[in-house]
Amino acid sequence: MKISVIITLKKDVLDPQGKVIHQTLDGMGFDDVNEVRQGKYFEIETKETDNEKAKAKVEEMCKKLLANLVIENYKIIDPK
């Protein structure tokens, strides 16, 4: 089963890369953008076949390694 995870920076954390991307988009003529925040996306292929168990495992992975909870939030996308 494949599970996807999106990691985003928390609201109060400065994202200089997002800012620069925003400025560049602006310079390219995409001038209706309000803000850009950069994050991370993971696809995890697991042997687990039970949806709930797999999600619980991935949640543990997020807490222990994939995200740093001081600055980041994680969102597990329901496996299909």
Partner 1 sequence: MKSSVITFPGSNCDRDMDVALKKFGFKNKMVWHADAELPKSDLVVLPGGFSYGDYLRCGSMASKSKIMQSVINFANSGGMVMGICNGFQILVETGLVPGVLLRNKYLEFICKNVFVKIGDKNNKYFKNVNNDVLEFHIAHNEGNYFCTNDQLKEIEDNNQIAINYCDENGKIEDQFNPNGSIKNIAGIFNKEKNVLGMMPHPERMIDASLSGEDGSLFFKNLINNLK
Contact set with partner 1 (CB under 8 A): 13-14, 16-17, 20, 64-66, 68, 70-71
Smallest distance from partner 1 to CB 78, Å = 23
**Nearer CB in complex with partner 1: 18/79:** 18
Tokens standing for residue 1: 């089963």
Match 């997020």 to its residue by tokens: 62
Closest CA to 52 of 78, 73, 30: 78
CB 71 within 8 A of CB 9: yes
Nearer to partner 1, 16 or 29 (CB): 16
Q: How far is the CB of 36 from partner 1 (least distance, A)?
A: 14
